[in-house]
Amino acid sequence: MKIIQLHLYVLICCRAAVSDQLTDLGSNVTINCDLDENEVYWILLKTPDPPTVILRSFSKPKSPFYNNSTFRKKYSVQFKHRLVINNVTADELGVYFCMNTGTPPKLSNSTRLHFTESTQLIECHNHTALEFIDQNQTQCQIIIIISGLMNGLLLIVLIGLVKVFYVGNRRSAEQSQLNTDLQQTRVIEEHQDQLQYAEVDFSKLRRNFRSSQVNSTYAAIKPAKS
């Protein structure tokens, strides 16, 4: 029930006058609470998020109660409920106000915290630089992927050409060896044919030689006719 009431009071407070407070990135900021109360809530409103209760401050020497333990490193309280923001970043920008814990509710004047123009320019440049770096990284990744695909395709083509060249040379060598074998076979066959045609029957010559030799010898020893 208190949270619902708090939301309603915050909406009413946002319609009231809001004072602006400029700060630089990384500096410490102090925001005053103009309520004369023993206990107050410090609340942060960041559109369009719902209101965030940061802490509960006490006038007695008592440590503040933090709604979230993560706020301890960022927020602290000084005398008269003054809120101190340490090392301001973009996450701490918004509208701050304090509210009493009792009824009827009382709201302080709101303070809108934002950066100076130079800080905004720096953040803008940083954001632009980050976007440029992200774009370059994306382009580099695309180029690397395309280069890898092209190298892989080139490797496949080279392997195919080597295989084709090797198979072609092998077939050429086999064809050349086959042609050489055929030529040698033909030469051998031709030599065999020539040898067959040049064959001489020495048996007949031997017989003729013997008969003529016998006749001449017989004629030499034959007595002459008277």
Whether 33 and 19 have beta carbons less than 8 Å apart is answered as: no
Rounded-to-10 torsion of CA 46, 47, 48, 53: 30
Average pLDDT over residues 81-110: 91
The whole-angstrom separation of Cα 124 and Cα 166 is: 62
DSSP single-letter state for residue 18: E
Q: Name the amino acid, one letter, at 87.
A: N
Specify the length of the chain in residues. Answer: 226
Element (H, E) at 132: helix 117-197
Q: Name the amino acid, one letter, at 200.
A: V
How many angstroms separate the first and last alpha carbons of the chain? Answer: 184
- Three-class DSSP category at 70: helix
The whole-angstrom separation of Cα 36 and Cα 26 is: 30
Average pLDDT over residues 132-145: 73
For the entire predicted model, the pTM comes to 0.50
Whether 85 and 24 have beta carbons less than 8 Å apart is answered as: no
Beta-carbon count within 10 A of 43 CB: 24
The whole-angstrom separation of Cα 104 and Cα 101 is: 9
- The pLDDT, as a whole number, for residue 105 is 85
* Domains by residue range for the chain, with CATH: 2-115 (2.60.40.10)
Cis previous bond, 104, omega within 30: yes
Q: What are phi and psi of 166, to 5 degrees?
A: -65, -45
Higher pLDDT, 116 or 132: 116
Whether 88 and 30 have beta carbons less than 8 Å apart is answered as: no
7-60 pLDDT, tens digit each: 555 555 555 568 899 989 899 999 999 998 999 999 999 888 889 999 999 988
Checking if the pLDDT of 84 tops 90, the result is yes
